[in-house]
Structure 1
């Protein structure tokens, strides 16, 4: 087996659907030719590019879209640290900018711990990100009940907040790392710059800074289940392996472009030994199965099973015949 640290690959999602004219699923929806050296245990979804040329925010956005994918989005502290390692201790533009509409967003965490300490919402968010993952998101009534039981009916912060800042690539990331007393000067400073300390300040969009672009490593194609893996590898790519919550969120973001109810993952079931495994060769650790899928005995009468992620609000995984 090729060493994961030396395996040069691309990640691909395959959209399940059929062309109504030809009956074949070969119409590409989105293609991005970005290769990288990946570790199967620590897959990075993006490649960052520091551009040491001073431009306004709008100029930087156009440059990134013409030469890469977009001005970079920051999803979490790991992303932030990776970006900081590329910018040579300079203040740079990132993709966050202010819009007129104000929307509610989640702080991206998963429910896990109840901290019995009195803090402001921002203090609580910082504490959770430093010691756990993030403030809890509540995605359904079951999670709401779990959190209610944890808090023993006391009032407690969750990760829902409201703001008018959006990312240039329209991603759903609600991660924020504002400096103290930022953002300020509403209506005047509507673009975001990353300081040398790693915190963010809002700046006038016409100010001139270097900037950071990103390239996505996840792409979306139309293809049927049979031959999907072979097709991916024939163009030096692979079906995506979702090994963490971070990669799951990246897949969810790319799936905004799909028009079908499911998208293939690189997860297969071995009828011989009765386990699910990733096509990279790794045994499954992280999982997000829908109820009644993936955790019991599989029906192998049709020649094998494969997993797909649903496009519904929870983006859970389901088991399907591999020949579908």
Structure 2
């Protein structure tokens, strides 16, 4: 009979394999909710130390996933107004976002994701919870072919 811990490990491994089989390009992004209250800059430093960076959201599907992880309230994401760029590598914001929220963002400098999946501008010195991102490289975790 399999122990509870063994079953949990088996289920986790099975989920990773299934997800990776759907990701032929290799890496998948994972989002992590952090319930600490920090300014945007403090949140960025924390994410860079513990994960990769504040969440970069390149698509509507990723936005939905980040929203699920974030839960209720407003959470920092990696978007800041240096002509609206992502924290990670200064990547520009994709067109789908600009069409969706350009009029909402205004001139404030940092963005939060709310529980409805909307992005809003907020003073970067405000304290919020936040979402970090990490990557899981499926190519390094695949079994023999």
TM over 0.5: yes
Higher helix share: 2
| Relative contact order higher in (CA < 8 Å, ≥ 6 apart) | 2
1:293 pairs, out of 91, 104, 109, with 104
The residue that corresponds to 1:187 in the other structure is none
Aligned to 1:71: 15
| Contact map agreement 1:262 1:310 (CA 8 A) in 2 | yes
1:73–1:236 CA distance, 2 compared to 1 (3 A) = closer
TM-score by length of 2: 0.62
Matched, 1:220 2:30: no
Q: 1:251 aligns with which of 66, 76, 82?
A: 66
Task: Verify the 8 A CA contact 2:86 2:92 in the aligned structure 1.
Answer: yes
> How do residues 1-324 of structure 1 correspond to structure 2 at under 5 angstroms?
62-64=8-10, 68=12, 71=15, 81-82=22-23, 217-221=30-34, 222-226=36-40, 227-255=42-70, 258=71, 260-270=72-82, 275-280=83-88, 281-285=90-94, 286-287=96-97, 289-290=100-101, 292-294=103-105, 296=106, 298-299=107-108, 305-312=109-116, 315-324=117-126
Change (3 A) 1:218 1:231: same
Report if aligned partners of 2:57, 2:63 keep a CA contact under 8 Å in 1: yes
* Number of equivalent positions: 118
Post-superposition offset of 1:231: 1.7
Pairwise CA RMSD: 3.7
Aligned in 2, Cα 1:63/1:316: closer, same or farther, shift over 3 Å? Answer: same
TM-score normalised according to structure 1 size: 0.30
Residue by residue over 1:223-258, the C-alpha shift from the partner in whole angstroms, topping out at 9 and shown as x without a partner, is 322411112222343101001122112212212xx3
Question: Alignment partner of 2:38: what SS?
Answer: coil
CA, structure 1 residues 72+224, in 2 after alignment: closer, same or farther (shift >3 Å)? same
Q: Which has the larger radius of gyration?
A: 1
Could you say which residue in structure 2 is the equivalent of 1:9? none
Q: Distance in 2 between matches of 1:69 and 1:291?
A: 41
